[in-house]
Structure 1
Amino acid sequence: MTHVHAPGHGPSPLPATVARVFAIIPAHDEAAILPGVLGAVRRQVQSDRILVVADNCTDDTADIARANGVGVHVTVDNAARKAGALNQGLSVLLPTLDDDDVLLVMDADTEIARGFVDAAVRALAEDPERGAVGGIFTGTDPRGFLEQAQANEYARYAREVERTRRVQVLSGTASVIRVRALREVGRARGTLLPGTPGEVYDATALTEDMELTLALSSLGWSLSSPAACRTSTQLMPTVRALQDQRLRWYRGAIDNLRTYGWTPVTRRYVRQQVMLAIGALAMALYLTVMIADAVLGRIGFQPFWAGVGVLFALERVVTAWHAGWRGRVLAVLLVPELFYDVLLQIAFVRAVLASLRRTEGEWRHDTAPPRRRVPA
């Protein structure tokens, strides 16, 4: 698919007094954590403007949402995962909204920071060409090595976004999007954009947030992620859960890029995938050499490489500073995070192979026991 730009879509700036803000929250078996999530949202969005989409739930998610005073839509025969749930909810909600309204789209296992919505609305009001504002996600209080490694990874990602002011992905954890932009995406599906005409989200995409990022950018909308738009999301508690999550993320990204092809929008994402592939190869070669040297007894102290190692450890600590003292300790040890990086690269290689074989992608739902912390 070639890059498209919709000339003259003419988005008007949000009213200075702030447009109406609505929220849609797809939820699958989230009864345990939903009250805390809704509590954070209700401090920023009126209860009667919040819609929980209960998707294929086997618990009392819908009843708990109603008890918290918000609207509920129960999906019917949805086999398209989160994208399908959002499309069903939006089919009910969007007809009731004005073009100048904005919509908070967020996960049910995520809490938004105080001031998130106000910061997002201000960012949209600053630029009439800005179609959406994405959250910068951090992890909930990590327990154990695996979750702390994820928290460090998220802290580094947040630092990079703040430093470059460049949006990588319109995070599915929480984003605020112009209704006008969402409607434009729906109209472009099946012609300028992949997907079913009239649907906002591409139901075939494993990573619906990245696909929407590509869709909005391809239509000429700009995106941003202000520092104040923080979210706190659940961390994967086991190696299998982490592998499942990252396999979906990597596979979804690769498939999205294949669908869109080489365009001015996708080329930086394609380069990122190439760098991931090079990194995986370099890591495999490094580990091979290290193992060979250990077997042959050739490992010894070398001042130059020891100095390089110190500088590398310092960089890891600085970039993970906001992950707390546990994150800094993990970073300075180097080896545990090296092991974590290997886990991620294994998931990436699996995703590449699965994409080449065109096997059907899977979506598993597996998180740690709930513990809520509203990000600062």
Structure 2
Amino acid sequence: MRWPRPRRRPAPRARHHGTAAAPRILALIPAHNEAERIAAAIAALHRQDRPPHRIVVVADNCTDATAETARAGGAGVIASQNNRRKKAGALNQALGRLLPGLDDTDMVLVQDADTTLQPAFLASATAAMHGTVGAVGGIFYGEKGGGLLGALQRIEFHRYAREIARREFRADVLTGTATLFRVATLREVRQARLDGLIGGGTSYYSLASLTEDDEITKAVRTLGYRTVSPPGCGVVTEVMTSLPKLWHQRLRWQRGALENLRDYGWTPVTAPYIIRQGFMGLSVLFLALYLVFTGWMLARGKPEFTAFWIAIGLVFVAEKVVTARGAGWKSQLLAGTLAVELAYDMFQHAVYIRSLWDMARRREEHWRAT
């Protein structure tokens, strides 16, 4: 399949007659049995500096009080019909019903039900939606709690936020926690799928991907739009509270990212992602070699740590401490212990290796709720 060459597209012009009207914002919250969290997500939208014009909860195969709680919070509710395609399928059904009533210059916020937006999110996102920007993703932080595992995830998320800032707020992934799209962009993505220019089915979100947010990022960028995550677009999201939940979440993320790259192939858009995955593989190899060398030194009974190896260790510790600064001093102390974070890194590497192994065996990975 030949992928379209990305080209910088200008923002669509408003089709409103007479004086220009501010674009409307539709907020969509796909939710499966989220009665305990949906009220907080809706309340955060009402507290926005620039509130959405409409909030719709997409109740997907719910067996709890998600729909009733959403209506009590002031949101509309759309129930998915015979959906077996999880989040992507539910969103496609809702977008198919709601987008015909919106103008190209209007915007759609898609956010998770376990996420709350900081008050400046929509104002910051709409301000960033100019020129060739087609979508604006959130900068996610972990909620409180979760013990040691929650702390490690919060450190990880803060590091990711630092990396976004270092890249001048370019979004490599339009996070599923919260992303604001131009309606015109979503329509172009669907048309590109219909035309066979990109895969994933015939609707807005891909039905073939385990990570629909990662895939739609590549779709948007393949069509020539920029994706950004500017300051002010912070969100607070759930952290996994057990290793099995974290394992399934990260395995889905990693496997989905690798499969999306396989499906798109090498293109100007995917090349940086593929190179980054290659560096991830190298980090797995180098850490394994370092641990083997350290174990060999200890097994000899007389470890001889030279100044060179001590310096490498100190640099590693310093990097961990400095990059955890945004998560607070307790997180920095945790990072400084090195051993705990080293174990967390090894966990991430195990996820990477397992994803590659499953892909090589063509083992089907099932979407699991976490």
> Taking structure 2 as the reference length, what is the TM-score of the superposition?
0.93
Query: Secondary structure of the residue that 2:236 maps to in structure 1?
Result: strand
Residue 257 of structure 1 contacts residue 270 of structure 1 at CA under 8 Å; is this kept in 2? yes
In the alignment, the residues of structure 2 paired with residue 8 and residue 294 of structure 1 have an alpha-carbon distance, to the nearest angstrom, of 56
Question: Are the structure 2 counterparts of residues 16 and 132 from structure 1 closer, same or farther at C-alpha, using a change threshold of 3 Å?
Answer: farther
In the alignment, the residues of structure 2 paired with residue 267 and residue 6 of structure 1 have an alpha-carbon distance, to the nearest angstrom, of 13
Question: Are the structure 2 counterparts of residues 286 and 310 from structure 1 closer, same or farther at C-alpha, using a change threshold of 3 Å?
Answer: closer
Question: Are the structure 2 counterparts of residues 332 and 353 from structure 1 closer, same or farther at C-alpha, using a change threshold of 3 Å?
Answer: same
Deviations 1:147-197 (A, max 9, x none): 111111111110010111232111111011100000000111041110222
Name the counterpart of 2:77: 72
Residue 146 of structure 2 contacts residue 240 of structure 2 at CA under 8 Å; is this kept in 1? no
Q: Aligned ranges for residues 1-376 of structure 1 at < 5 Å?
A: 1-5=1-5, 11-12=11-12, 18-44=22-48, 49-125=54-130, 127=131, 129-165=132-168, 166-190=170-194, 191-197=196-202, 199-366=203-370
Task: Note the aligned Cα RMSD (angstroms).
Answer: 1.9
Shift of 1:344: 0.7
Residue 2 of structure 1 contacts residue 260 of structure 1 at CA under 8 Å; is this kept in 2? no
Query: Secondary structure of the residue that 2:78 maps to in structure 1?
Result: strand
Larger mean Cα displacement after TM superposition, 231-240 or 293-302: 293-302
In the alignment, the residues of structure 1 paired with residue 256 and residue 290 of structure 2 have an alpha-carbon distance, to the nearest angstrom, of 28
Query: Secondary structure of the residue that 2:129 maps to in structure 1?
Result: helix
In the alignment, the residues of structure 2 paired with residue 144 and residue 107 of structure 1 have an alpha-carbon distance, to the nearest angstrom, of 23
In the alignment, the residues of structure 2 paired with residue 52 and residue 261 of structure 1 have an alpha-carbon distance, to the nearest angstrom, of 35
Amino acid at match of 1:156: R
Higher RCO structure (Cα 8 Å, ≥6 apart): 1
Shift of 1:46: 5.0
Larger mean Cα displacement after TM superposition, 278-287 or 85-94: 278-287
Residue 23 of structure 1 contacts residue 50 of structure 1 at CA under 8 Å; is this kept in 2? yes
Amino acid at match of 2:122: V
Deviations 1:319-361 (A, max 9, x none): 1101112211111111100000000110111111111222222
Amino acid at match of 1:310: L
In the alignment, the residues of structure 2 paired with residue 235 and residue 280 of structure 1 have an alpha-carbon distance, to the nearest angstrom, of 24
Indicate the percent of aligned positions where both proteins have the same amino acid.
Answer: 44
Amino acid at match of 1:306: I
In the alignment, the residues of structure 1 paired with residue 171 and residue 328 of structure 2 have an alpha-carbon distance, to the nearest angstrom, of 24
In the alignment, the residues of structure 1 paired with residue 326 and residue 106 of structure 2 have an alpha-carbon distance, to the nearest angstrom, of 34
In the alignment, the residues of structure 2 paired with residue 7 and residue 32 of structure 1 have an alpha-carbon distance, to the nearest angstrom, of 43
State the number of aligned residues: 363
Deviations 1:186-238 (A, max 9, x none): 111041110222x1001111010110000000001111110211111111111
Question: Are the structure 2 counterparts of residues 294 and 17 from structure 1 closer, same or farther at C-alpha, using a change threshold of 3 Å?
Answer: farther
In the alignment, the residues of structure 1 paired with residue 20 and residue 248 of structure 2 have an alpha-carbon distance, to the nearest angstrom, of 44
